Structure 1
Amino acid sequence: MPTRQKFDQDLEDLRLNILDLGKMVDERIGLAIKSLINQDLDLANTIITGDSAVNDLQAIIEENCIRLIATQQPFARDLRKVVAGLKISMYLERMGDLSVDLAKLTHRIGQESLIKPLIDIPRMSDTVKEMLELGLKAYVQEDCDAAASMAIMDDDVDKIYSRVFEELKVIMMTKPHQVQQANYLLFACRFLERLGDYCTNVSEEIVYLCSGKRVNLND
């Protein structure tokens, strides 16, 4: 196989691996939130013990990116594809870690009666998953505009987080016996807020891939 043709195939394999990793993380976020809402300890265990699959795939992507840089010495747009792919895989792996953190909160709350209906947490999760799915589509299509629009969605996640923070703060001040669970729910919202930030980081890499420009969309 000619060198250029082989390199193009390697870039396509990189793209497919990142899509697989993104879909894996997207599913795990949804299941982690489902475990929290339903207080499903078995489902939470599945998320926690399955984290190695995310780590293993990210390690493969990282190894392949380093190999491509070392052996092919890409430049311009080809180099951006490799660098952006590597960084996106790192952000996705960290998102996988946060899905584990969410599942661990399910264990900490256990079967204790919830102190409030979990309405805002699934709303935040839905927005994060929508951001991630949009990001993966923008990555495939190298769509700068779609990637940049993810920052607006992240603002919605931040607004919900701020509102829930104030609500839980009131609970902790007025109902001391509920402080522990309120803290756990606050952690869940914080993890989701961080997931939104990582989605925005992914969008920044897509903008870099498309345009060669570094932008900060988390401001």
Structure 2
Amino acid sequence: MGEQKIHPDLRRVLDTVDPTAQVPVIVRFRREPGIPTSQQQIANLPMAAAYQILPAVPAEGTAANIRTLADDPQIERIWYDLPVHTMLDVSVPLIQAPRVWAGSGQGAGIKVGVLDTGCDLNHADVKDRVRSSADFTGKGNAQDGNGHGTHVAGIIAGSGAASAGRYRGVAPAADLYIAKVLDDRGGGRMSGVISGLEWAVDQGVDIINMSLGSDGACDGTDALS
């Protein structure tokens, strides 16, 4: 029964990984809310703080330890903490945004969460649109050392200041809430994305943009779903 709790993506990793390697996972418990201390010690897996919106924690362990953990009746599901990376980084021109602006404005009062590589908080196009930012990669701040997140933020709400108004975002009056969930190389983990989502929801955003993805399933059975 324990093996059935292990997501297929993770099973493939466990079947091929070095037996001594630490495999990052996301563990969901049956019991809500919170995770009892005794459960956190199962199979000696080091676990981070539990999420607030679901009874789960990111953890690491060897293949053997993870399979032992899956046998515990309080465990509901274990996913591989998939690497995530930038995707869909080419903007689509000619969407006729000015026609929308003329009819319904430029996004004033709309809060948009951007989960990406962060943002150049000093960039002329977006610095006046960023209302709050947070880092979930360990860098310590949401400053973008990659460029992808700044590009995405500019597509959403760039003012055009850096190009004398020539290149503007789709909703240049919208407010931006920047969550750095990908590092300066454009990579991260699903666990960081979930933390960024929690933060964005706490900010009361209306829309969340995630121009990222992974090689694993995104079909409703993955940890993020």
Structure with greater strand share of residues:
2
What band does the TM-score fall into relative to the shorter chain?
A: under 0.3
